Amino acid sequence: MRILAIDQSTTSTCALVVDDSGTGKIVETIEHQQFYPEPGWVEHDGDELIQNIQRCIDHCDDISAIGIDN
């Protein structure tokens, strides 16, 4: 079984695939834009985040499960 772990962080979307032996390999990292509407605030474009997640999934083959971390 291969598990895809997606980390949706403040600066990027990262995809890591873990195989049966427990070995993990980063298969894709995509940075996204950040917007600062006020001091101390940060916002992201939700459509861009969804597109980046889809691009990460598209780079993976034979996945049995997906976990998402934010």
What single-letter DSSP state applies at residue 10?
Answer: S
Report the DSSP pairing between strands 12-18 and 24-31. Answer: antiparallel
Q: Give me the pLDDT at residue 61, please.
A: 85
**Contact criterion met (CB below 8 Å) for 60 and 17:** yes
Q: How confident is the model at residue 3 (pLDDT cuts 50, 70, 90)?
A: very high
Q: What is the mean pLDDT of the chain?
A: 94
pTM for the full predicted model: 0.82
Summarised one tens digit per residue, pLDDT across range 15-42 is 999 999 999 999 999 999 999 999 999 9
